[in-house]
């Protein structure tokens, strides 16, 4: 079946002849004639040949060899090509917006060729002579299919709405793609969030995180139990074959849902889900922030009174507990120079602005002054545990008041000391900023916080260990940073400033964090 699908895709794009599936014989000879390598050409990125030989797969610098054989590329008319496969949420709007912005930055013209509703290509050409410089092929199915295409050699990158699974990582290593769980094999392209959705006519405006888990588990079945009309709740979720569906199920199970209620209505895409919910006054859906359509987002609350909504800043800081990173996964092989330049562009401020305008949450760090942080200090006084003293609160206020909070925040996987995916991306981003000298002359404080479970003294010690661990991870990654040009400190206040209620795992996870404060 996969061979048939590959043939169909190749027929749609006949100019894809240089993909690995079309490998041909080549002979590479050093310019002095002393060394000769023969094998099947697996790829050429404009600079390096990748050849399957009797010695295994070799990468050879093209400047040092001459190529002979039917598989040799035309060096004077080389076109960088890359195929991306996976989640339509990324491929429909975000990726085209980034490709077009990148072409503008490079002084190239971008032309789109639609082969079907799920397959299209962008050709980037030199406007002076019309010669193609690069082609981006996009295939929109779902995250599972994206990884399947990568493993089968039919794609170079995966557009994913979840992290790679263990079985996919094992098969990727066996296929010579490297360790797909390595931080170098993936990057967070943008951020989204999972949000509870209802129709605009539904009188319910908030739901506690335990109640949401109970609705999904079938323990709460009527709106009257949530303060609404006496009518059964119709639950809508993304299909379990989609990345968002799989991410939703994982997050809900972590939040206390033991299973999913029978009769749950599943949808293959976010637009269909939001449309169905908007038309049913008794529906409750879990959808994405970027595809809410005409629905209304319920605020997540808890018994302690906190209310959380998926605002741009709350998603960026992960203060909202159901963030959904959007990934690009790449194999451990050299990509064409133009493609590498595109990947570098996605991290630039200009690309982050494109991401925001496309309706997603960017990762550009922002500094938030105390006066712009809402009621954080008032909540610290009202919601801090009984073991947090007035002296603790005064000390925290005295230290943090002169500083600004950076939106770059670090949180941990449930039941683990390992940073979550968004936070691992934040380590890399902060390290690159330190290496560039962006924060030279500044004071950076890594501040640890905890949930309220357990003694306050022990929580402060745990929070301080986490702050030091995050600091060490950032400094380890910032290999070329001149650290004598800035001041780096660590602090911890434990449970003194909760962001959410501790009555669910989601709330406790939101409270276990390391923030960056600076001046």
**Distance between first and last Cα of the chain:** 59
For residue 13, tell me if it sits in a domain: no
Alpha carbons 28 and 355: distance in angstroms, whole number:
42
Residue 12 has pLDDT above 60, yes or no: no
Residues 459 and 492 in one domain: yes
Helices (H), 61-108: 88-89, 95-106
- My answer on whether 53 and 95 are in the same domain is no
| Per-residue confidence (pLDDT) for residue 259, from 0 to 100 | 74
CATH number of domain containing 425: 3.30.1330.60
- What is the C-alpha to C-alpha distance for residues 246 and 235, in angstroms, rounded to an integer? 16
Work out whether strand 513-518 and strand 443-449 pair parallel, antiparallel, or are unpaired. Answer: antiparallel
CATH number, domain with residue 32? 2.30.30.520
Higher pLDDT, 77 or 213: 213
Residues 389 and 425 occupy one common structural domain? yes
Residues 265 and 175 in one domain: no
Nearest to 213 by CA among 265, 252, 244: 252
Using alpha carbons, select from 399, 404, 403 the residue that is nearest to residue 367.
404
- Mark whether 485 and 399 lie in a shared domain: yes
Cα–Cα dist 57/63, whole Å: 19
Whether residue 56 lies inside any domain: the answer is yes
Give the model's confidence band at 377: pLDDT under 50 very low, under 70 low, under 90 confident, else very high.
confident
Q: Quote the CA–CA distance of 431 and 478 in Å, as a whole number.
A: 4
Interacting residues of 338 by C-beta distance below 8 A, sequence separation 6+: 46, 80, 106, 124, 133, 134
> 298 and 197: one domain?
yes
Provide the domain limits for residue 129.
89-191+327-343
Q: Running DSSP on this structure, what letter comes out for residue 479?
A: T
Nearest to 86 by CA among 30, 164, 13, 26: 164
Residues 387 and 462 in one domain: yes
Confidence at 20, pLDDT banded by 50, 70, 90:
very low
Ranges 44-48, 131-135, 297-301, 438-442: which has the least confidence: 44-48
Whether 82 maps to a domain, the answer reads: no
Q: Looking at the predicted structure, is the pLDDT value of residue 496 above 50?
A: yes
Question: The tokens 């409270």 sit on which residue?
Answer: 511
The answer to whether residue 115 sits within a structural domain is: yes
Flag whether 97 is in a domain.
Answer: yes
Q: What pLDDT, on the 0 to 100 scale, is given for residue 255? A: 61
Residue 373: pLDDT band with limits 50, 70, 90: confident
CB 449 within 8 A of CB 410: no
CATH number for the domain harbouring residue 272: 3.40.190.10
- Of 5-19, 276-290, 407-421, where does mean pLDDT reach its minimum? 5-19
Report the DSSP beta bridge partners of residue 68. 27
In a domain, 318, yes or no: no
Residues 157, 205, single domain; the answer is no
Number of domains in the chain: 4
Q: Please classify residue 380 by burial: count the beta carbons closer than 10 Å to its beta carbon, then call 0-12 exposed, 13-18 middle and 19+ buried.
A: buried
Q: Summarize pLDDT for 454-486 with one digit per residue, the tens.
A: 888 898 999 999 999 999 999 999 989 899 899
Per-residue pLDDT at 78 exceeds 60: yes
For 397-414, what is each residue's pLDDT tens digit? 889 889 999 999 999 887
Under the banding of pLDDT at 50, 70 and 90, the label for residue 196 is: very high
pLDDT band at 167 (very low <50, low <70, confident <90, very high): very high
Judgement on whether residues 497 and 383 belong to the same structural domain of the protein: yes
Instruction: Say whether pLDDT at 511 is over 80.
Output: yes
What average pLDDT does this structure show over 82-97?
A: 94
Could you say which DSSP state residue 438 is in?
T
- The pLDDT, as a whole number, for residue 251 is 79
In a domain, 278, yes or no: yes
335 and 186 assigned to the same domain: yes
Task: Provide the whole-model pTM.
Answer: 0.81
Average pLDDT for the chain: 87
Task: Mark whether 262 and 196 lie in a shared domain.
Answer: yes
Check: CB of residue 519 under 8 Å from CB of residue 328.
Answer: no
Pick from 39-43, 384-388, 419-423: least confident: 384-388
Mean of the pLDDT values across residues 243-260?
Answer: 78
Give percent of the chain above pLDDT 90: 54
Phi and psi of 218, rounded to 5°?
85, 15
Rounded to whole angstroms, the Cα distance separating 280 from 461 reads 49
Q: Give domain status of residue 1, yes or no.
A: no
* Nearby residues of 255 by Cβ (< 8 Å), 6 or more positions away: 209, 212, 213, 504, 505, 506
Is the domain of 457 the same as that of 388? yes
pLDDT of residue 71: 83
In the prediction, which pLDDT does 413 show?
81
């Amino acid at each position: 079946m996969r061979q048939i699908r590959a043939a169909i895709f190749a027929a749609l794009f006949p100019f894809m002849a240089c993909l690995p599936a079309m490998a041909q014989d080549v002979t590479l000879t050093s310019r002095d004639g002393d060394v000769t390598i023969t094998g099947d050409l697996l790829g050429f990125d404009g600079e390096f040949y990748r050849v399957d030989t009797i010695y295994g797969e070799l990468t050879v610098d093209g400047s040092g060899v001459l190529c002979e054989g039917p598989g040799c590329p035309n060096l004077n008319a080389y076109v960088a090509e890359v195929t991306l496969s996976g989640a339509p949420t990324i491929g429909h709007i975000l990726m085209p917006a980034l490709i077009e912005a990148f072409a503008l930055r490079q002084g190239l013209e971008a032309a789109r060729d639609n082969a079907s509703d799920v397959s299209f290509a962008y050709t980037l050409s030199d406007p002076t002579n019309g010669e193609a410089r690069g082609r981006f092929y996009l295939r929109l199915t779902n995250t599972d299919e994206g990884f399947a295409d990568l493993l089968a050699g039919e794609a170079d990158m995966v557009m994913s709405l979840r992290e790679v699974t263990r079985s996919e990582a094992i098969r990727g290593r066996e296929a010579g793609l490297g360790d797909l769980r390595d931080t170098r094999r993936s990057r967070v392209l943008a951020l989204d969030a999972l949000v509870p959705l209802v129709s605009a006519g539904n009188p319910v405006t908030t739901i506690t995180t335990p109640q949401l888990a109970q609705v999904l588990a079938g323990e709460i079945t009527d709106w009257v139990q949530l303060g609404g009309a006496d009518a059964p709740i119709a639950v809508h979720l993304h299909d379990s074959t989609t990345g968002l569906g799989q991410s939703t199920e994982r997050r809900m199970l972590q939040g206390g849902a033991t299973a999913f209620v029978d009769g749950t209505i599943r949808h293959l895409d976010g637009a269909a889900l939001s449309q169905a919910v908007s038309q049913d006054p008794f529906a409750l859906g879990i959808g994405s922030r970027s595809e809410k359509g005409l629905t209304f987002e319920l605020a997540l609350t808890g018994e302690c009174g906190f209310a959380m909504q998926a605002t741009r800043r709350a998603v960026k800081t992960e203060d909202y507990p159901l963030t959904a990173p959007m990934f690009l996964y790449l194999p451990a092989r050299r990509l064409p120079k133009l493609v590498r330049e595109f990947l570098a562009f996605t991290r630039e401020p200009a690309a982050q602005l494109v991401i925001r305008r496309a309706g997603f949450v960017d990762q550009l760090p922002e500094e938030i002054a105390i006066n712009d942080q809402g009621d954080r200090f008032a909540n610290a006084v009202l919601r801090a545990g009984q073991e947090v003293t007035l002296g603790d609160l005064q000390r925290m206020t005295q230290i943090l008041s002169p500083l600004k909070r950076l939106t770059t925040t670090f949180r941990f996987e449930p039941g683990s000391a390992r940073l979550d995916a968004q936070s691992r991306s934040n380590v890399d981003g902060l390290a690159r900023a330190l290496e560039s000298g962006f924060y030279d002359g500044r004071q950076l404080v890594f501040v640890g916080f905890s949930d309220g479970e357990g003694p306050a003294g022990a929580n402060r010690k745990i929070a301080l260990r986490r702050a030091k661990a995050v600091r060490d991870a950032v400094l380890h990654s910032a290999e070329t940073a001149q650290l004598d040009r800035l001041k780096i400190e660590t602090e911890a206040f434990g449970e003194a400033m909760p962001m959410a209620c501790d009555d669910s795992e989601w709330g406790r996870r939101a409270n276990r964090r390391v923030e960056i404060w600076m001046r």
